[in-house]
A and B are shown apart, each in its own frame.
Chain A
Amino acid sequence: MSLQQIQSLMLNLSIKPQLSNQLFADPSSVQASYDLADHELQAALQLQARDLEAFQTHVALKRLNRLAMPYVTRSLSLFSSSSRARLLREFVTIHEMKQNFWMQNIITFLDFLADKATGDKHGDLQREVIAFEKWVYESCRATDEEVSGTGLRVASRVRVATFQLPGELLIDGKFQEALPELFGTQGFVLAQWNGAEVDLYEIDSGYYDFLKQGIGRMFTSQELLVLAEGIAVRYEERTAHEMIEELYEAGILVTHGKEVKSWLEV
C-alpha cells in the first residue's frame, strides 16, 4: 500500500467530484491515472459514493467559508441544503481549485447561482438577492474616478442601489417565509467599502436620489444645497439642511480640499 498514491487519490477526489463518478463507472481508468496497485483500487472501491459526495461538499464548503462566504451567504441561503450541496459540487467540477480560489470566483459563482434560480416568482426573488450580493461585491471594489478641485463630495467607495426587496431584509439576510410576499417592495441600500469589509445601510428614496446624483461630483456648498432642496421639496420629509447634516455627520458627505467651510455656514 503506497501512502503517496492514497493521498494523491484522496486529495484529487476531494476537489474533483467527477473523479468519484469515474472511479465507480470506469475504475481501470482511475487505476491507470493514479498508478494504483490492484489492492489499492479494490480499497478505493470500498469507499461509499454518498460518503465521497459528503466529503466533496464538506471540502468545498469549508474552503468557501474560509474567506468568501460573507459575499455569497444570502444567495446560498435561498437554496435548500441538498441543492446547495449539489450546486457546490457542480461548480467545483467546472471550476477546479487546486488551491483555494474562491475569492477569485465570487462573481462567477453568483452568476452560476443566478442561472440555477428556477421558478417564476421564486426564481425572480433568488435572482434579485443574487443581484444584490453581486452589486455589493462589485461596486465596492470599483475604484473611484479621480476628483479634482475643492468642495464637498460623496465619500469615496460609496455606492447606492435599489432592489425589489426591502433594504433592511437584504442587509440582514435573515430571510423569512414572508420573503416572497415582500418581493416587489422597492428597497434602497448604501454600501461603503471601509478598507476591510463592506458596510451596508438601508436608506430611503430621498437619500437614494440625492446620492445617486451626487456620487462622483464635486460641489460647492451652494450647489449641494440646491440639489438637496430639490429632493427635499419632492419628498417633503426633511429639509435640505437636515438631509445634508445627516449625511455629513455619518461621513457619507465629506469635504475635499482646503477651501471648504462647513456646509453649516451655507
Chain B
Amino acid sequence: MARGVGIGYRSQFTNTPELLLQHVDFLEYNQRPNLEAVQADLGPFLGKLPVVIHSINLSLGSVEPPAEQRVEALKRTADFVNASWVSEHLSYSRVGDIEIENFIALPYTDEAIEVASKHILDLQNFLGRPMIMENVTHHITWPVKQYSEAEFIKRVMLSADCGLLLDVTNLYLNSVVHKYDPIEYLKTIPRDRVVQLHLAGHTETDGELVDSHVGGIDPKVMELTEWVMDNTSCDAMIIERDNQLETFNDVLEDVALCRSVYQKYRGAMER
C-alpha cells in the first residue's frame, strides 16, 4: 500500500531510478494508454515501490460517461502496476465533440453530485480498486450553487464512497482567489476521506496565481499540510513538479521538506 512521501513520476527521472528508490516511498504515475510505455517507465520500480495511478482525461463530472477505451486502458495500467488506488479530478472537461485540457469546476448542485458520483462508483467497481478524487483550481464557477465547494466535495465523497486527493496547493490558491478560509474548508471534509496530498510550488504572473508545479512549496501551503497531517488520517504525500525540472536532484529539497512534515506527524517510514 502506498504511504509516505512520493513523487509524481516524470520522464526526467528515467536515468536515475536508484535516486528515486533511495528518496521516495511511492510513485504516482500519470496514466498512459500504451502499456509498453508504462512498462518502460516503471519497470525499474515495480515490486520495489508502491504505485498509484493518476488519470487526467476521464472527465467524470461530465453528464456523458467516460470514454470506454480510456477506462479500459486505465484498468490495464492499474492492474499492471497493482495500483494502491486510482485518482481523477472532480471536474469536467468534455461535452459532445468539445474536449479541453482544463479541469472545470462542477456546479455545486445535487445534480452534479449525482452525475459525478455515479461515474465514480461505476469506475471504482470496474477497476476493483479505490478511487480518490482531486480538488481542482478554478477561476470561474457556475454562479448558482446549493453548496459550498467543501460541502460539495464532502457530499461526493460520501455518495460515491471514494476518497479525496487533496491538492493542498490548489486549495491554497483557491482560498486566496475566492477569499475563503482554507481551514474551514478542511474542517468540512470528513477526516477519514483524505487519502493523498498533492504538493507543488506555484507562481504569480501579472497578479495571477498559477498552479505551475515549480519548485519551492510555499510555507503557507506547508502550514495547511501540517494541519491536514495533524487532523486527518491522510498518510500519503505526492510532490508534483513539471517546471524547473531537469533531473531528480531538482526535487530533493521539496522531498526533504515533505519528509520532515511527514515524520513529525507519522514518524519515520520503515524502508
> What number of A residues sit within 8 Å (CB to CB) of B?
31
Q: How far is the CB of A29 from chain B (nearest CB, A)?
A: 19
- In the complex, are the beta carbons of B142 and A62 less than 8 A apart? no
- Bound Cα distance A15, B109 (Å): 24
Q: Which residues of B contact A62 (CB under 8 A)?
A: 100-102
Name the one of A6, A8, A81 contacting B96, with C-beta atoms under 8 angstroms: A8
Our pick among B96, B97, B100, B111 for the contact of A14 (Cβ within 8 Å) is: B100
B107 in contact with A1 (CB, 8 Å): yes
Q: Which of A1, A8, A12 makes the CB contact (< 8 A) with B144?
A: A1
Evaluate contact between B143 and A43: CB separation under 8 angstroms: yes
B205: Cβ under 8 A from any A Cβ:
yes
* In contact, A1 and B109 (Cβ under 8 angstroms): yes
Query: Is A259 positioned at the interface, with any CB of B under 8 Å from its CB?
Result: no
- A58 and B102 form a contact (CB under 8 A): yes
Task: Find out whether the CB atom of A3 lies under 8 angstroms from the CB atom of B98.
Answer: no
Assuming the contacts A1-B109, A14-B104, asked whether A7 and B63 have C-beta atoms less than 8 A apart, the reply is yes
Pair A98/B139 contact, Cβ less than 8 Å: no
Interface residues of B in 183-217 (CB under 8 A from A): 205-206, 208
Of A7, A47, A51, A55, the residue contacting B92 (CB under 8 A) is A7
Query: In this assembly, does B62 line the interface, its C-beta being within 8 Å of a C-beta of chain A?
Result: yes
Chain B residues with CB below 8 A from A55, complex form: 139-140
B143 touches A47 (CB 8 A): yes
Question: In the complex, A98 Cα to B93 Cα: how many Å?
Answer: 11
B121 at interface by CB-CB < 8 Å: no
Say if the beta carbon of B112 comes within 8 Å of chain A.
yes
Query: Would B206 and A3 count as touching, CB distance under 8 A?
Result: no
With an 8 A cutoff between CB atoms, is B1 at the interface?
no
Cβ contact of A98, chosen from B97, B101, B143, cutoff 8 A:
B97
* Interface check A63, CB cutoff 8 A: yes
A98 touching B98, Cβ below 8 Å? yes
B251 at the interface (CB under 8 A from A): no
Min Cβ gap A31→B in Å is: 15
User: Beta-carbon contacts of A35-53 to B below 8 Å, as 1s and 0s?
Assistant: 0000100011011000110
Answer yes or no: A59 CB below 8 A from chain B CBs: yes
List CB contacts (< 8 Å) of B78-111 with chain A: 92-102, 104, 107, 109, 111
In chain A, what residue has the closest Cβ to B138?
A: A55
User: Cβ of A52 and Cβ of B140 under 8 Å apart?
Assistant: yes
Against B, the Cβ 8 Å flags (1 = close, 0 = not) of A209-243 are 00000000000000000000000000000000000
Q: Which of B94, B107, B115, B142 contacts A11 (CB 8 A)?
A: B94
Write the chain B residue with the least CB distance to A39. B144
Partner of B98, one of A11, A52, A54, A82: A11
B104 touches A11 (CB 8 A): yes
Shortest distance from the beta carbon of A81 to any chain B beta carbon, whole Å: 5
Name which residue of chain A comes closest to B94, CB basis: A11
Contact of A66 among B94, B101, B206, B208 (CB under 8 A): B101
Contact B63 A3 (CB under 8 A): yes
- Binary contact readout B164-193 vs A (1 if CB under 8 angstroms, 0 otherwise): 000000000000000000000000000000
Kindly state whether residue A143 has any CB partner on chain B within 8 Å.
no
| Docked complex Cα distance between A206 and B206 (Å) | 44
Return chain A residues, CB-CB under 8 Å to B95: 4, 7-8, 11
Q: Does A99 contact B (CB under 8 A)?
A: yes
Q: How far is the CA of A14 from the CA of B93 in the complex (A)?
A: 10
Q: Mark B97-138, 1 if CB is under 8 A from A, else 0.
A: 111111010010101100100000000000000000000000
A178-232 with Cβ < 8 A to chain B: none
- Smallest CB gap from B112: residue in A: A3
Question: Could you say which of A4, A63, A82 contacts B100, with CB atoms under 8 Å apart?
Answer: A63
Q: In the complex the two chains form, is A81's CB within 8 Å of B107's CB?
A: no
Chain A residues with CB under 8 Å of B99's CB are 98-100
Other-chain contact of A59, B97, B102, B115, B205 (Cβ < 8 Å):
B102
In the bound complex, residues from chain A placing their C-beta under 8 Å from that of B205 are 81
Interchain CA distance A82-B208 in the complex, whole Å: 12
Cα(A59)–Cα(B104), bound, Å: 10
CB distance from B12 to the nearest CB of A (A): 14
Q: How far is the CB of B168 from chain A (nearest CB, A)?
A: 21
B104 touches A10 (CB 8 A): yes
Residues B109 and A54 in contact, CB atoms below 8 Å apart = no
Docked Cα-Cα span, A47 to B107, in Å, equals 13
CB <8 Å contact, B100 and A11: yes
Return chain B residues, CB-CB under 8 Å to A44. 143
11 A–B contact pairs at CB < 8 A? A2-B111, A3-B112, A7-B92, A11-B92, A11-B98, A43-B144, A62-B101, A62-B102, A81-B206, A98-B98, A99-B98
Other contacts beyond A43-B143, A63-B100: 13, CB < 8 A: A1-B109, A1-B111, A3-B112, A11-B92, A14-B100, A14-B104, A43-B142, A46-B144, A54-B139, A59-B100, A59-B102, A99-B99, A100-B99
In the complex, the 8 A-B pairs of residues with the closest C-beta atoms, listed nearest first: A46-B143, A43-B144, A11-B95, A81-B206, A11-B98, A7-B95, A98-B98, A4-B63
